[in-house]
Amino acid sequence: MTDRYIDTPEGLEELCNELGGSQWLTLDTEFIREKTYYPRLCLLQVANESVVACVDPLALANLDPLLDVLYDPAITKVLHAAHQDLEILFGLRGTVPAPIFDTQIAATVLGGGDQIGYGNLVKTELGIELEKAHARADWCRRPLEQDQIKYAADDVRYLRDIYHRQFAQLVELDREEWLIDDFATLSDPERYTNSPEQAWQRIKGAGRLKGVQLAVLQQLAAWREQRAVAADRPRRWIVADAILLDIARHMPDSLTKLERIRGVEEKLIKRDGQVLLERVASGRKAPRDTWPEVKEGPRLAPEQDEVVDTLMAVLRARCRARQVSPAAVANRRDLERLVLGERDLPLLRGWRHAVAGADLQAMLEGSMALSIQEGRLAIEAAPTA
């Protein structure tokens, strides 16, 4: 079967006729975003049981015929590490297709480990070593070479067999219902919407600021987010994180004070100095009850830390026995919250509760005990008095 390269409206129409009505489609994208705020779609790969195609969005003014197929709710879209691909589709249509099957997520409950890469998954499941020569290619440069097209097509070609294998394994293990909620979350538009008011949370080092400084940072980050969106430029090209942090820390009230801050260049002063001062002033005037707060992790006493360590051992043991990635069930922060008395946690619901959550809760209640038997951790009912 020859890989198809689609760069004409006629070719796209023919492809869509062949893809329409499929039960599932494998999907991947190639994009660049080093110089833009939004990812720039350079190639879209799609396949069903009989067709493998690379669609050139740079040659096609209208992708709607293909998007209509991809957004068909009767067709399962199969992707690996789907978030960035779905972000691109969200940018094209303002919504996210459904239903989704993510093979990286599925691998976490099938013994594949946490966040396994596509190449490693193909090698593990199919015994095929993928080429890596074009991993850093400029996918928007034309013309594409034939080996580039094959490299891109491989991303959906082998995904078909992996999907079949994973789905069969899920059915065999009676786990096909486990990931419905996880996959549905991938289609939630909120995951792909960047709120300017929350942009400060993405700034590394924000936790070192306190009180009104955070209110100022919130104003500065919101302005930068809006500016980056309008210009379609990376945030760091507008103002670097470190500069925003220093401005928020010092809260200057004049251009003279602003230009004394390390990293603030004359070009920035001339272009945006007054706006930055206005944002600083706005943050300083914000009512105290509106100041943002850095969410800190729970604080545990030393003996509680020891309990969390024990629960981590139980989690790993239970997940190993069921060939499930511990990270798919819970992380350390989840266990800290459990020790502190929280019960509205994912690990206490559904399949996560069945895999490990029930035993973790029983350990806390004293009805389960640990021992070491034949060099392995054993978890069993606690002896009664």
Using one digit for the tens of pLDDT, what is the confidence trace for 239-248? Answer: 999 999 999 9
In degrees and rounded to multiples of 5, residue 223 shows phi and psi of -60, -45
Residue 24: closest CA among 177, 123, 159: 159
380: pLDDT confidence band, cut at 50, 70 and 90?
Answer: confident
Determine the straight-line distance between the first and last CA of the chain, rounded to whole angstroms: 70
What is residue 311's predicted lDDT score, i.e. its pLDDT?
A: 96
What is residue 296's predicted lDDT score, i.e. its pLDDT?
A: 75
What is residue 108's predicted lDDT score, i.e. its pLDDT?
A: 96
What is residue 385's predicted lDDT score, i.e. its pLDDT?
A: 59
Mean pLDDT (whole number) for 306-313: 95
Q: Is the pLDDT of residue 281 over 70?
A: yes
What is residue 1's predicted lDDT score, i.e. its pLDDT?
A: 62
The mean-pLDDT minimum among 5-9, 96-100, 276-280, 292-296 falls in: 292-296
DSSP string, 119-142: HHHHHHHH--PPP-TTTT--TTSS
The mean-pLDDT minimum among 135-144, 195-204, 267-276, 344-353 falls in: 135-144
What is residue 332's predicted lDDT score, i.e. its pLDDT?
A: 95
The C-alpha R_g of the chain, in whole angstroms, comes to 25
What is residue 132's predicted lDDT score, i.e. its pLDDT?
A: 83
Q: 325 is written with which tokens?
A: 């990635």
Look at the domain 302-381 and name its fold. Answer: DNA polymerase; domain 1 (1.10.150)
Report which DSSP code applies to 143: S
**For a pLDDT cut of 90, what percent of the chain falls above it?**
89
Q: Does domain 4-192 have CATH number 3.50.50.60?
A: no
Distance between CA atoms of residues 323 and 309, nearest Å: 21
In the block, tokens 């925003």 appear at: 244
Q: Does domain 196-290 have CATH number 1.10.150.80?
A: yes
Report yes or no: 159 and 103 within 8 Å, Cβ to Cβ.
yes
Mean pLDDT (whole number) for 311-318: 95
Between the alpha carbon of residue 162 and those of residues 108, 156, 220, 350, the distances in Å are 14, 10, 45, 25
Within the chain, all domains assigned CATH 3.30.420.10 are found at 4-192
372: pLDDT confidence band, cut at 50, 70 and 90?
Answer: confident
The pLDDT tens digits of the residues spanning 38-93 come to 999 999 999 999 999 999 999 999 999 999 999 999 999 999 999 999 999 999 99
Distance between CA atoms of residues 159 and 145, nearest Å: 22
What is residue 135's predicted lDDT score, i.e. its pLDDT?
A: 77
Residue 251: closest CA among 210, 199, 204, 287: 210
What is residue 294's predicted lDDT score, i.e. its pLDDT?
A: 87
What is residue 370's predicted lDDT score, i.e. its pLDDT?
A: 86
Mean pLDDT (whole number) for 247-265: 96
Report yes or no: 278 and 267 within 8 Å, Cβ to Cβ.
no
55 beta partners: 6, 44
5 beta partners: 54
